[in-house]
């Protein structure tokens, strides 16, 4: 079990993470003894008994997460026809980026947990896009900045696709593919990684078209160890 300092400070309560592949009871009790308020349980997708046990103990299923990776830099034009070119965002684009990031927050595992305040989850995503802009690359559609964005940062030689959002009316036009490809070309890292949700079929198709392949699948649950306010 690892106490998550950033999450704890941001949400104002003790939060920890435990990776388990069998009965999560021991991790839950250790967290309770340590005064943890919310324990994120990360369980391999194949460990169905552990997931069932966690749910029986009151944990909330919040995400079915896939990690995908690819080797080699993205080269050439990867946008689908009609998507249009992408451009690199700057500080002047921050108001638009924060607005879109707040919309993206609605699709996160934190928004599926009613005990995390919606406004705090939205602020978390605004912070994430600010960090991508400051430390990495954020791309926007050249013709219509409000259509979507993609944010990538490089850590330890790996380009991590941290944020991708496209407005619903532009879905299926190749916008996400163009934005992600442009960001990855800009950082030119030898490897890339992205996290998405198992049920997000359009996102999976986008990443597979860019050469990503599934590396792991994880079930994430939130175990609350204190009563609601």
Ordered by start, the domain boundaries in the chain are: 2-65+218-224, 69-215
Q: What is the DSSP string of 194-206?
A: EEEETT-HHHHHH
Q: Nearest-CA neighbor of 138 among 147, 129, 146? A: 129
Mean pLDDT of 82-102: 90
Architecture of domain 69-215: 3-Layer(aba) Sandwich (3.40)
| Tokens representing residue 178 in the block | 């163009």
pLDDT, tens digit, 9 for 90 and up, residues 153-211: 999 999 999 999 999 888 778 899 999 999 999 998 999 999 999 999 999 999 999 99
Same fold, 2-65+218-224 and 69-215: yes
Give the ranges where the chain is alpha helix by DSSP (H).
Answer: 5-11, 25-33, 48-56, 94-104, 118-135, 175-187, 201-209
Q: Nearest-CA neighbor of 180 among 168, 198, 195, 169? A: 195
For 108, the 3-state DSSP assignment is: coil
What is the chain's mean pLDDT, rounded?
93
CATH number for the domain formed by residue range(s) 2-65+218-224: 3.40.630
- Map tokens 């392949």 to a residue: 213
């Amino acid at each position: 079990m690892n106490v998550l300092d950033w999450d704890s400070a941001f949400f104002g309560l003790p939060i920890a993470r435990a990776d388990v592949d069998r009965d999560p009871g021991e991790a839950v009790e250790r967290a309770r003894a340590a005064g943890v308020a919310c324990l994120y349980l990360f369980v391999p997708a194949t460990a169905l008994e552990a997931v069932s046990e966690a749910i029986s103990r009151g944990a909330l299923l919040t995400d079915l997460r896939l990690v995908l990776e690819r080797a080699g830099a993205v080269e050439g034009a990867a946008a689908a026809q009609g998507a249009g070119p992408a451009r690199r965002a700057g500080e002047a684009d921050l108001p638009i980026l924060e607005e879109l990031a707040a919309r993206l927050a609605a699709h996160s595992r934190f928004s599926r947990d009613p005990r995390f305040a919606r406004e705090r989850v939205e602020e978390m995503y605004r912070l994430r896009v600010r960090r991508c802009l400051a430390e990495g690359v954020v791309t926007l559609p050249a013709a219509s900045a409000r259509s979507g964005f993609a944010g990538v940062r490089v850590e330890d030689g790996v380009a991590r696709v941290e944020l991708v959002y496209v407005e619903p009316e532009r879905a299926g036009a190749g916008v996400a593919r163009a934005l992600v490809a442009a960001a990855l070309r800009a950082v030119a890292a030898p490897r890339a990684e992205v996290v998405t949700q198992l049920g997000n079929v359009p996102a999976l198709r986008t990443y597979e078209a860019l050469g990503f392949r599934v590396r792991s699948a994880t079930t994430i649950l939130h175990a609350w160890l204190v009563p609601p306010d």
